[in-house]
Amino acid sequence: MSEPVDKVLDVATLQALCTAKPDACTCALKHCHGWESVSEDRWPAASMQLKGSLRETLPEGQMEASFEEFHPEGTRYDSPLAPIAPPFFPYNRCDAFACKKCGCGVLKYTEYGGYYVDHRVRLIDPDLVTTVS
């Protein structure tokens, strides 16, 4: 399960979180340009610092965040070029971390299926963070 996070990050803070470009990353997650599955034993917990969440408080009566995606250029969910749009899936279910070694920011969320739990990670490319609502 994810740790509880009180700090909801706005777009500017999310972009500023990235003190290193993804290509400069030396941590184990440097190849996670699209949403990649990362088992708990591969997640470098000791070198990751929780910075905040993209999960907004849900409106009254809404049980869970939307599954609507945002792909104005025809990208797909797992594309390294897909926009990082916080109000949309899966970003609206993410926590943001920074690597203590190299400064790269990563987003992490857990996908739950009928018989599986899949932890997914994506490096934050500040050039792909968008301000749509």
On the 0-12 / 13-18 / 19+ scale of CB atoms within 10 A, 17 is buried
- Are residues 92 and 75 in contact, defined by beta-carbon separation less than 8 angstroms? no
The count of structural domains within the chain is 1
Candidates 52, 119, 51, 130; CA nearest to 84 is 130
Lowest-confidence region among 57-61, 91-95, 122-126 = 57-61
Range of the domain at 87: 11-57+67-128
What is the pTM (predicted TM-score) of this model? 0.85
In a domain, 4, yes or no: no
In a domain, 122, yes or no: yes
In a domain, 3, yes or no: no
In tens, the pLDDT along 35-44 reads: 999 988 888 8
CB within 8 Å of 49: residues ≥ 6 apart: 97, 98, 99, 100
Candidates 90, 78, 110, 85; CA nearest to 15 is 85
Q: How much is the mean pLDDT over the chain?
A: 85
